[in-house]
Amino acid sequence: MNSLVKVPPRITQPFSTVTCHICKTLQQNNTRKSLFFNHFKNYYHITNLNHSKVLRSRCTGNKFSNYYNSIRRFYDFSSYMKMKMLGPVEKSDGNMVLNIYQYVLDLPRWHFMAMLFSGYLFYYFVEVVKRPILAVKDGPLKQFLIKNVPEIEMKFWPTFWCVESRAQTVFASILRASVLSNIDYRRELFTMKDGGEVALDWLETNCTSDSPIIVILPGLTGESQAEYIKCLVMSANRVGIRTVVFNQRGLGGVALKTPRMYCAAKCEDLCEVLDHVRALNPHVKMGATGISMGGLILGNYLAKHADEAEKILTSAKIISAPWNVFKGCDSIQKPYLNNMLGRHLADSLCRTVDQYEILKILQSKTIKEFDSHFTAKHFGFKDVDHYYTEATMHDKLHSIKVPLLCLSAADDPFQPLDALPLQDAETSSHVCFIVTARGGHIAFLEGWWPTSREQYMSRLFSQFFSVTLNDKDHEFEKISEQLKQDVKLYSIP
């Protein structure tokens, strides 16, 4: 018996209707998926646009991206090579470095600059700002200087944006030259015993006939209008001290009258000049200062003519002298910035010699070559090493009898720290070394803007000579007598 089976309504619908329903459902599902993927794609696209906008907002974003990609490619290549040779390697360390690098790149620009500035501040206060080294035997001179020259106990604050030695050396010259105008000296032409002629430039403004006198010896090719000389002259004038700048033969606009010039090992010209100044001012206290090579000439005079110097000079000061000439030449010939400074000085020497047609040595590229080709032969030395041995001062401190203050910088490109005779100074009762951590060569710039006030070099200069030459209570005179008695006591066999 056949029976009818009840069919559900949806089955009984026509086939075309079912097909349309299925297609509609699939279309709705595809629409949802399409909307989801479109939404994700738009989100990803907007994220990339924002990231690109951040990169474009940085001044060097593209460069940083190139650096990052280069590091990425290098790391992938190195990892591939290691895998070929050693098998699979861990990438965790490399990924960590890249993640840190990417994190730094993703920082806002001002955050990145703030981090750099904070790091530099930490470096400046910890490594740059320091108290100077004070090297002198514990005795009367040391106690006098600590008491009366406050600068030697204070920290030296180099110019914040100019702490590197070569930068200090160059900028000091540029800034002082732009600020200090030429000084109107009273010029005296002094004739030497051999017929040579030198210029003595006096500044006596606002001083009296009994004011103390400082004889100043400039550097290698310096003269009275050199910027570092003018700052010392003006500083001394402010404390009522007369100055006379000794321009070496052939310098300062004076014609060379004899074949003889000047060198660091010969101090006969200085002897004549000091005797002449003493004869003109028999009852006035006198001091002397030498800068760079002028310091070598003064130092050799103090050591080789100790008894004579003790009678003429009350005190002396040497600034940025190359105490060990051998090490100084090695230092100035190091590439690349030091060598550039050395070439500049060598060119100055060549122009000085060529100006008077004494010898054509324009091919000299370093100071040592110039001294080998000209100076050593001109003054009768066997060779340049013989000349440097005679000129060097680091082993002659024990012969000095005049109280001497020496200022140097530990980063001087012309004289490395290990060339300074600090150990000998520790046992010397007459020689005191002050060594700043920074300062370059004849620079010692300090403060945010170095031209806003008197600088460290000239301030220490005026303080020292003010208390030793303007000695109204005779305190330094008593100390000098005590030092003389100590020398006599130790010299007794």
Q: Which helix (H) or strand (E) holds 432?
A: strand 431-436
What sign does the CA torsion over 228, 234, 237, 238 have?
negative
Catalytic status, residue 412: yes
Task: Give the pair of three-digit tokens for residue 50.
Answer: 């924002």
- Tell me if residue 186 falls in helix, strand or coil: strand
CA separation for the pair 243, 470 (Å, rounded)? 14
User: In tens digits, what is the pLDDT along the chain, a chain of 493 residues?
Assistant: 444 444 444 444 444 554 455 555 555 555 554 554 555 455 555 555 555 544 444 444 455 555 555 555 555 555 555 454 545 545 555 566 666 666 666 667 777 788 888 999 999 999 999 999 999 999 999 999 999 999 999 999 999 999 999 899 999 999 999 999 999 999 999 999 999 999 999 999 999 999 999 999 999 889 999 999 999 999 999 999 999 999 999 999 998 888 888 899 999 999 999 999 999 999 999 999 999 999 999 999 999 999 999 999 999 999 999 999 888 777 666 655 555 655 555 556 555 555 544 554 556 677 788 788 778 887 889 999 999 999 999 899 999 999 999 999 999 998 889 999 999 999 999 999 999 999 999 999 998 888 777 899 999 999 999 999 999 899 999 999 999 887 765 554 4
Bridge-based pairing state of the strands 315-319 and 431-436: unpaired
Which residue from 488, 279, 304, 454 is spatially nearest to 390, judged by alpha carbons?
Answer: 304
Q: Which of 165, 292, 429, 466 is catalytic?
A: 292
Residue 272 half-sphere exposure, CB side, CA atoms within 13 Å?
18
CA distances from 193 to 257, 276, 375 (A): 12, 12, 21
What are the residues whose beta carbons fall under 8 Å from the beta carbon of 356, sequence distance 6 or more?
250, 256
Which residue from 237, 296, 232 is spatially nearest to 270, judged by alpha carbons?
Answer: 296
What does DSSP assign to residue 372?
I
Q: Which helix (H) or strand (E) holds 56?
A: helix 15-57
Annotation: CATH topology of 130-190+197-252+282-322+394-491: Rossmann fold (3.40.50)
pLDDT in tens, 374-426: 788 878 899 999 999 999 998 999 999 999 999 999 999 988 899 999 999 99
Greatest alpha-carbon span in the chain: 159
CA separation for the pair 31, 10 (Å, rounded)? 25
Q: What is the CA radius of gyration of the chain?
A: 37
CA distances from 195 to 189, 198, 250, 270, 378 (A): 12, 10, 13, 15, 17
What sign does the CA torsion over 225, 229, 234, 239 have?
negative
Phi/psi of residue 407, each to 5°? -115, 125
The predicted structure's pLDDT at residue 356 = 44
Catalytic status, residue 364: no
CA separation for the pair 438, 456 (Å, rounded)? 12
Which residue from 145, 128, 151, 226 is spatially nearest to 183, judged by alpha carbons?
Answer: 226
CA separation for the pair 192, 194 (Å, rounded)? 5
Residue 228: asked if its preceding bond is cis (omega within 30°), the reply is no
Q: Which of 331, 412, 466, 480 is catalytic?
A: 412
Quick check: 158 and 168 in contact, CB under 8 A? Answer: yes
Quick check: 400 and 301 in contact, CB under 8 A? Answer: no
CA separation for the pair 107, 114 (Å, rounded)? 11
What does DSSP assign to residue 473?
T
Q: Which of 371, 441, 458, 480 is catalytic?
A: 441
Catalytic status, residue 305: no
DSSP string, 138-187: SSHHHHHHHHH-GGGGSPB-B-TT--SHHHHHHHHHHHHHHHPPPP--EE
Domain boundaries, the chain: 66-104, 130-190+197-252+282-322+394-491
Q: First CA to last CA across the chain, in angstroms?
A: 154
